[in-house]
């Protein structure tokens, strides 16, 4: 039962086997930051809501670490959810449009 598990430990089961430690720690912070206050309480959190949060955490991590692109609305949402999370050494990606602008001059 979730209520018996320390809040900080709960997300460990959500780690992808392919995530390195740096990626996981950033995504874990995103998940913990966005869990509702009653996550560790007696009432279970609906599975659909946790799946939604996990999906948003993957969108954020994929954009941050892999340079994946998504709709502006989705990126705005996950960026807002991740506000204040500091990730050292995150890669900087150049978009196709940025590359094309450089070559046009």
pLDDT tens per residue across span 51-68: 899 999 999 999 999 989
Give the gyration radius of the chain's Cα atoms. 16
Cβ count near 33 (within 10 Å): 13
In 3D space, the residue among 7, 5, 11, 39 whose CA is nearest the CA of residue 27 turns out to be 11
d(CA 30, CA 78): 9
At 89 the pLDDT is 74
Q: How confident is the model at residue 99 (pLDDT cuts 50, 70, 90)?
A: low
List pLDDT tens digits, range 14-39.
899 899 999 999 999 999 899 877 66
What pLDDT was estimated at residue 55? 95
At residue 3, the pLDDT reads 44
Structural domain boundaries of the chain?
A: 2-104
**pLDDT band for position 42 (cuts 50, 70, 90):** very low
């Amino acid at each position: 039962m979730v209520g018996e598990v320390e809040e900080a430990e709960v997300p460990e089961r959500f780690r992808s086997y392919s995530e390195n430690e740096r990626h996981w720690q950033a995504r874990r912070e995103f998940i913990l930051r966005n869990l509702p206050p009653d996550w560790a309480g007696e009432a279970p959190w609906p599975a659909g809501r946790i799946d939604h949060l996990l999906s948003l955490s993957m969108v954020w991590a994929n954009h941050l670490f892999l340079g994946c692109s998504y709709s502006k609305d989705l990126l705005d949402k996950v960026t807002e959810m991740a506000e204040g999370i500091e990730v050292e050494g995150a890669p900087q990606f150049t978009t196709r449009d940025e590359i094309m602008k450089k070559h046009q001059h």
